[in-house]
Amino acid sequence: MKLDLHYWNYSTPAEPEKMAATLAETARIAEQSGFSSFSVMDHYFQMDYATAAEDPMLEAYTTLGYVAGRTERMTLGVLVTGVMYRHPGLLAKIVTTLDVLSEGRARLGIGASWYEREQRGLGVPLVPVGERFERLEETLQICLQMWSDDNGPYQGRHYQLAETLCVPQPVRRPRPPILIGGGGERKTLRLVARYADACNLFGSSPEDVARKLEVLRSHCEAEGRDYDSIEKTVLAVRPALADVDDFIAAAGEYAKLGVTEICSMPDPGRSPVEWAEELAERVMPRLSQVG
């Protein structure tokens, strides 16, 4: 079982002049101790259901560019990019840039976006949920076209590109992997079956994940897609250090379902550096034996 460090909170320490060093040290410890990947959220306000919207938040891809310069091996991605926050052609170029400068370590994590307070606050266009999913599908098509030999136009309902030129191409071959986040059974998991290399599900329980994966399997059958070719990842709900035995037991149950990576988040209010050090000591040796 692999482990992703999902860096979601910049409040400890909250002083801007200390954030870079804390981020760099946390990433260094994660890589040194064997984390497979490092991810960040795509938010501009902190999530107000988790803590205060006014808490510190950094832009995702700039943050990953910084982490890329401080690491050598971990996969780097956004969990997950909000489809409304960047024009698809520019998003493909942003992810390509991250991939080139990290020497092939970028992963495109993407979803339909949801945080209306943030969007209203910053003037991001608000569109109905159905349209967000239409835009998500077109964005996936545009990224795939830009990471191919086809430099021609793209004509969609929401996006029209006269050229899909992307030079340089990504270092990763044949392209950066695509991860779609979310467990929506009718739309999200259908898009996973049609376009993605990986999915990320909310790890509320092994039973819930098992049901979502059965839905994904049915979509794969309908799409003619090999279900086993899709990597299954889970965002852990339970804090890993609150009960290590419980976390490892749940990881074992997820592994039986075919999950190969768990995303774990530093505890709010605690130094992410200290959290990563303790996770490396108490969790990583046992997690490496799972699966």
Could you read off the pLDDT of 16-52 as tens digits, one per residue? 999 999 999 999 999 999 999 999 999 999 999 888 9
> 291: pLDDT confidence band, cut at 50, 70 and 90?
confident
At 117-164, the pLDDT tens digits run 999 999 999 999 999 999 999 999 999 999 999 999 999 999 999 999
117, with CB counted inside 10 A (0-12, 13-18, 19+), is: exposed
Query: d(Cα 253, Cα 234) in Å, to the nearest integer?
Result: 12
Per-residue pLDDT at 198: 98
Q: Which amino acid is located at 65 in the chain? A: G
- The C-alpha R_g of the chain, in whole angstroms, comes to 18
Report residue 16: phi and psi, to 5°.
Answer: -55, -35
Percent of the chain whose predicted confidence (pLDDT) is above 90: 96
99, with CB counted inside 10 A (0-12, 13-18, 19+), is: buried
Query: d(Cα 138, Cα 130) in Å, to the nearest integer?
Result: 13
At 209-238, the pLDDT tens digits run 999 999 999 999 999 999 999 999 999 988
Per-residue pLDDT at 87: 98
Per-residue pLDDT at 96: 98
Query: d(Cα 240, Cα 18) in Å, to the nearest integer?
Result: 25
The owner of tokens 């999530």 is 47
